[in-house]
Amino acid sequence: MNRRTVVTLIFLIGLNGMPGWSATSCSFRVTPDRIPLAQWESQLRRMPAHLSEFSPMSEPLAIPRCGDVRPPEALVTPDPIIQLDDENLRVRVSFIVGADGRVHSPFILDSGGVREDQLVLHAIRRWRYRPAL
């Protein structure tokens, strides 16, 4: 039999705005349910292992080789509205072009500043592509 103790700390903010702490602990006994090893092994031996006991599955159609692969093609890519004070400003972005041609999961790789990053992300979300084939 094992003995476990759980301690809980809670950070509180009162109605008057003053922070405070509350702590509580609880101790209890744990009795693990263990199956004897011999019984466990006999249960394993009785599990189905014959192919006839599994449901049949249809085989997927195999494609002998991939055809020509075409990358996504940009259809609409409006520029972000940024007033450039610095001509060397660069923002690098990574994103996924979905099957619907929309930009998904844009991620800033190289930041140009918080405001610039937000403007670039806003513009990129409006970009549309012809998906890859």
**Count of other CB atoms within 10 angstroms of residue 18:** 8
Q: How far apart are CA 103 and CA 125, in angstroms?
A: 6
| CA angle (75, 79, 83) in 5-degree steps | 175
Residues in the chain: 133
What's the predicted TM-score (pTM) here?
Answer: 0.46
Query: Quick one: pLDDT at residue 69?
Result: 74
**pLDDT top residue among 53 and 86:** 86
Query: By C-alpha distance, which of 122, 87, 98, 129 is closest to 108?
Result: 122
Above 80 in pLDDT, residue 87?
A: no
- Helix (H) or strand (E) segment spanning residue 118: helix 114-124
